[in-house]
Structure 1
Amino acid sequence: MIWHRTPSERRTHASLKWSTSPEDVLPLWVADMDCAPPNCVTQAINDALAHGIFGYGTEPRSFRNTWVQHLETRHEWKIDPDWIVPVPGVVPGMRFSLMASPQVRHVLIPTPAYPYFKTVPSIENRVEHSIQLDLAGETIETSIAAIEDRLKTIKEPAAILWCNPHNPGGNVYSKGFIQGLVKLAACYDALLVSDEIWADLILDDERHTPCGLVAPNDQPTVTLMAATKTFNIAGFSCAIAVIPDPDIRHRFLATQTAMPHISPLAYAVTASCLTDGWSWHDALIKALKHNRQLVMDWSVGHPEMTVITGHSTFLAWIESNSCNDLFERFLDRGVRLSPGAPFGSNTAVRLNFGCSPATLTEAFNRLDSAL
């Protein structure tokens, strides 16, 4: 069984998801799941405890090769280990990318978008330009032409922050789209930074195409990846930036002075998942597909809303056709979702279906009473 049988126990273990909500509220908001990670995670932790010394750590020699093998095996992307820069998370990686590119004054972001897509450019004093994505059937879409229309209006160096697969819409962009995005960035000499943290949580037959796979090695691209969402280990801050261009990589590395280091435990846990976590992953995908169907079945009874589940992640985007207080309504009935406003929509919420079917069913009963 994937799902934790008594998820409410998480309230007593300093869980951001559970401990910050009242006991009568079901938390289906922040993107972690109510399940234990693969057994290899526990083994990696036990091995570290058995060592018994917890001083300063450094990157293990095998860490980059583990990622190299993973990217080639699962994404058909052959990279040089030297292209990899370990970072303490995808969001810090986005910020380091902008810090390393002071000439970039304008940043294009898809909207709706994971809130840090707006926060990071703001912190770095860059001008934000939203690319409005459209609700299209089961996904949230845009076109290369729409992105180019925004780039045409910008007369200074720009960056494109992209999210593939998309959070919150779950869209897995086709290889043709990614090729078009890469060519467009090259045409306008724009830095392309791609958050690909969801690359290994694709629920259907769609195939993930890393931006760095189709971009020339001398094009300014930063591809950000992590195992944290895939294996439910978000508490271990560890990610990578893949940067083929040596000049950009050098500037990126220079931004990390006085920044937090990745812990030895996070390195070990990440490597263990990428090596030995895939049978667990197969069971997880099956469980998430079941839950996604529950979301889709529930949505049939609510034509006043557009519910997007997409082809990846464990997130659903719920857009109301008539009201702008969904978050408050649902919270009043004891279900905490992520409010849509930080993503760029005042009429939407994001639902995390990475939980037991029983929890999800109870949540839907409560949501029904609010509508």
Structure 2
Amino acid sequence: MEELIYRDRRGTNSNKWNHLTGRFTREGLLGLWVADMDFAAPACVREALRRKVDFGVFGYDTAPDSYYEAFIRWEKTYHGYAVQRDWLRYSPGVVAAFNWFVQLFTQPGDGVLVQTPVYYPFLSAATDNGCRLICSELVNSDGVYTIDFADFERKLAEERVKVFLLCSPHNPVGRVWRREELERMLSLCRQYGVRVIADEIHHDFTYGEPSHIPTATVGDHDDMLVTLTAPSKTFNLAGLKTSVIIIPDPELRKSWDAYTGKLHTDSGNSFGVTAAEAAYTGGRPWLDQVLRTVRGNYEILRTELLPRKPDLRLSPLEGTYLAWLDLGAYVRPDQMVDVVEGKCGLAVDYGSWFGGNAATHIRVNLATRPENIRQAADALAEHL
């Protein structure tokens, strides 16, 4: 069993821990926001990168077949998705990719549909690209979120929607969509001529049942669907700027290749490719340790915070490594910053960043050592 190594990232130019005054009120807060981990990458990744550094030549590279084979094997083994080599394309990040797809699939003034509250770059992917942001609010029943299908269909029918940005598993609410939910969303998008961009970057973070279902395996929707994922969340490699785009349809691939050819982004980061291949080949034992740690950290919040603040709402953690808490029974929206930062000393993602009716929510990153989660739980229990 591989040891999980915690690193103190203060003073390392970490976005999560350093230079917080650009977004928060002060430095020195407990960093629980940006969705990366405080764990060293798997040993197999570190060794592969060490060999590359020791070789000492960092010129232009082409991703080897073994890189693609490792990813294809991972998807088949752990998600039952039979990806083919010619479907795969490169992007430096999932956010860049879904912005480019919005540009490719829309014209100014078209609608882009999202399900709020949602990962906030989804919101700007519409507005930054000249589209109208169309929000279908998820239904919150005591912290458990479901889809308002009547509203979802109404928005598709009435708002000239051209693209649906699907977050699966859903960030920040932690839902893993069931097959019947995916089938219904895809069927409605088919009915109204809407293309689907499925961001599945958190797909390796589920905890038993329900397991993640790749959107592309639900029915025959290849002509209207692309899938985005990456090793960045799974193996803590975000800084290496290597993501995977899966485009099964040849016509969509042709359109994508023509578009990105003008951007000159077809080749990846050679360190990222090396790290990803190593991780997909030998990183599973490390990931299993991370999953146990994240689940344990969620249990710390549930067992050490909720009994002391019983009216706080903690959404079930089905997917992602992010806890979603509603502090609304104790804090007004206009008090959030003062309480969370000023009194509790926490840097978290605020619900207001995610759109929708989430002004008293916070998103807490669980991919850290248990002591940090325990500190956060104690601070919230004391000051709410």
TM class, shorter-chain normalised? over 0.9
Counterpart of 2:374 in structure 1 is 361
Higher deviation after alignment, 319-328 or 263-272: 319-328
Deviation digits for residues 254-280 of structure 1, max 9, x if unmatched? Answer: 332335552100011011111100011
Helix, strand or coil: the match of 2:135? strand
Q: How does 1:1-371 map to 2 (within 5 A)?
A: 1-4=3-6, 7=8, 10-21=9-20, 24-103=28-107, 105-137=110-142, 139-154=144-159, 156-216=160-220, 218-256=222-260, 257-258=262-263, 261-297=267-303, 298-322=305-329, 323-324=332-333, 325-333=335-343, 334-344=345-355, 345-371=358-384
Contact 2:231–2:243 (CA under 8 A) maintained in structure 1: yes
Q: Is the 8 A contact 1:296 1:309 kept in 2?
A: no
- Contact 2:223-2:252 within 8 A present in 1 as well: no
Range with bigger deviation, 303-312 or 280-289: 303-312
Preserved contact between residue 41 and residue 237 of structure 2 (Cα < 8 Å): yes
Unaligned runs of 5+ in 2: 21-25
Q: Is the 8 A contact 2:202 2:319 kept in 1?
A: yes
Residue 202 of structure 2 contacts residue 233 of structure 2 at CA under 8 Å; is this kept in 1? yes
Q: Is the 1:217–1:244 contact (alpha carbons within 8 Å) kept by the matching residues of 2?
A: no
Q: Distance in 2 between matches of 1:327 and 1:23?
A: 14
- 8 Å CA contact 2:290–2:367 kept in 1: the answer is no
After TM superposition, the score normalised by the length of structure 2 is 0.90
SS of the equivalent of 1:12 reads: coil
Question: 3-state SS of the aligned residue for 1:13?
Answer: coil
**What do you get for the CA RMSD once the two structures are aligned?**
1.9
The SS at the match of 1:350 is strand
The two structures have a TM-score, normalised by structure 1, of: 0.93
Query: Compared with structure 1, are the counterparts of its residues 264 and 118 closer, same or farther at alpha carbon in structure 2 (3 Å cutoff)?
Result: same
Residues of 2 paired with 1:211 and 1:18: CA distance?
A: 34
How high is the sequence identity, in percent, across the aligned residues?
Answer: 27
Render the CA deviation track for 1:272-308: whole Å, top value 9, x for unaligned: 1111000111111111111111111213332333221
Any conservation in 1 of the 2:113–2:161 contact (CA below 8 Å)? Answer: no
- Which residue identity lines up with residue 199 of structure 2 in the other structure? D
Partner-residue secondary structure (3-state), 1:159: strand
Q: Give the stretch that moved more between structures: 79-88 or 187-196.
A: 79-88
Deviation at 1:217, TM superposition (A): 5.2
CA gap 1:44/1:136 in 2 versus in 1, 3 angstroms: farther
Deviations 1:124-182 (A, max 9, x none): 1111110101223553221433311211212x352110101010011100112112212
What secondary structure sits across from 1:317 in the alignment?
A: strand
- CA shift, 1:23, in A, is 5.7
Structure 2 residue identity aligned to 1:33: M
For residues 256 and 339 of structure 2, what CA distance do their matches in structure 1 show? Answer: 44
Task: Give 1:314's aligned amino acid.
Answer: Y
Stretches of structure 1 that go unaligned for 5 or more consecutive residues are none
Q: Distance in 2 between matches of 1:36 and 1:277?
A: 12
Deviation readout 1:297-348 (Å, 9 max, x if unpaired): 2133323332214212111112233510323311002111112212013222
Distance between the aligned counterparts of 1:84 and 1:108, measured in 2?
25
Q: SS at the partner of 1:169? A: coil
**Following the alignment from structure 2 to structure 1, what is the Cα–Cα distance between the partners of residues 178 and 151?**
16
User: What per-residue deviation string (whole Å, max 9, x for no partner) do you get for residues 2-25 of structure 1?
Assistant: 251x62xx1222111111245632
Q: Tell me which moved more, 265-274 or 354-363.
A: 354-363
Q: How many pairs were matched up?
A: 367
In structure 1, give the amino acid aligned to 2:182.
I
Alignment-mate amino acid for residue 110 of structure 1: Q
| Contact preservation (8 Å) 2:107, 2:131 | no
**Relative to 1, partners in 2 of residues 1:11 and 1:259: Cα closer, same or farther, differing over 3 Å?**
farther
